[in-house]
Amino acid sequence: MPTTSYGVLIVNEQNQLLMAHATGQKHWDIPKGGAEAGESAREAAIREVREETGIELSADSLEELGRMPYRPAKDLHLFRAFVHTRDCDISACKCTSFFPHHASGVMTPEVDQFKWVDPADIPVLAAKSMTAVLRTLPGFGTTRDT
pLDDT score of 145: 64
Domain ranges of the chain: 3-141
What is the per-residue pLDDT across 16-65, written as a single tens digit (0 to 9) for each? 999 999 999 999 999 999 999 999 999 999 999 999 999 999 999 999 99
- The β-bridge partners of 82 are 11
CA distance 127 to 74: 14
Is residue 37 helix, strand or coil? coil
Do residues 109 and 97 touch, judged by C-beta distance below 8 A? Answer: yes
Average pLDDT taken over every residue of the chain: 94
pTM of the model as a whole? 0.94
CA distance 146 to 48: 23
Say whether domain 3-141 belongs to CATH 3.90.75.20.
no
> What is the pairing mode between strands 63-71 and 98-100?
unpaired
- Number of helices (H), then strands (E), in the chain: 3, 9
Mean pLDDT of 115-122: 96
**First-to-last CA distance in the chain?**
27
What is the per-residue pLDDT across 53-78, written as a single tens digit (0 to 9) for each? 999 999 999 999 999 999 999 999 99
What is the per-residue pLDDT across 83-93, written as a single tens digit (0 to 9) for each? 999 999 999 99
